[in-house]
Amino acid sequence: MGLLFLKNFGTINYMLNINIIVLGKLKEEYWLDAEAEYLKRLAPFAKIKIYELREESFGEKDSPEQIKKKEALKILKVLEKVKNAYLIALDETGKEYSSTEFSKHLHKLQEEIVIILGGPLGLHDSIKNSAKETISLSRFTFTHQMARIILLEQIYRAAMINAGRKYHY
């Protein structure tokens, strides 16, 4: 299962399915609380599948490319489970959407969606290059834990905008 929320096209309802692949766990209680809050808010119209993968530990002498390559292999194993999905990689160099634009973009996609959020070093080029698109949450740099919560909030905001609910002003 992935993130599901109803899209209304006249009298026909379509389900939008989003799986989120993340590297690293939410360790601090405040991040866990924030995630739980957005999962609760999405519950009336969403089921979320988050694939939480173990990030590689590294030190100053380790090659960032080698670390990202090892993480890419873990991501590829999950992608085998969600073949033929619309793949979105989150990266600081990706396209930026406003919240309204993002909501419209998600609304028009009628296929399964996978959003990949890398670890502290980002995503390996092989993952970014295999994505149908690369999106940036902001020109700012966030911790991957913070980016995970911002992503969930933006998906919730998109659901509210698409449902015509008061949340986005």
Closest alpha carbon to 17 in 2, 36, 30, 6: 2
DSSP secondary structure code for residue 145 in this structure: H
Set out the domains of the chain in order of their start, with CATH numbers: 3-162 (3.40.1280.10)
DSSP state of 150: H
Cα–Cα distance between 55 and 88 in angstroms, integer? 19
CB within 8 Å of 132: residues ≥ 6 apart: 86, 87, 88
Q: 71-111: per-residue pLDDT in tens?
A: 999 999 999 998 889 999 999 999 999 999 999 998 888 77
> Tokens 């999950």 belong to which residue?
78
Q: How far apart are CA 10 and CA 134, in angstroms?
A: 31
pLDDT tens for 25-68 read 999 999 999 999 998 887 776 667 999 999 999 999 999 999 99
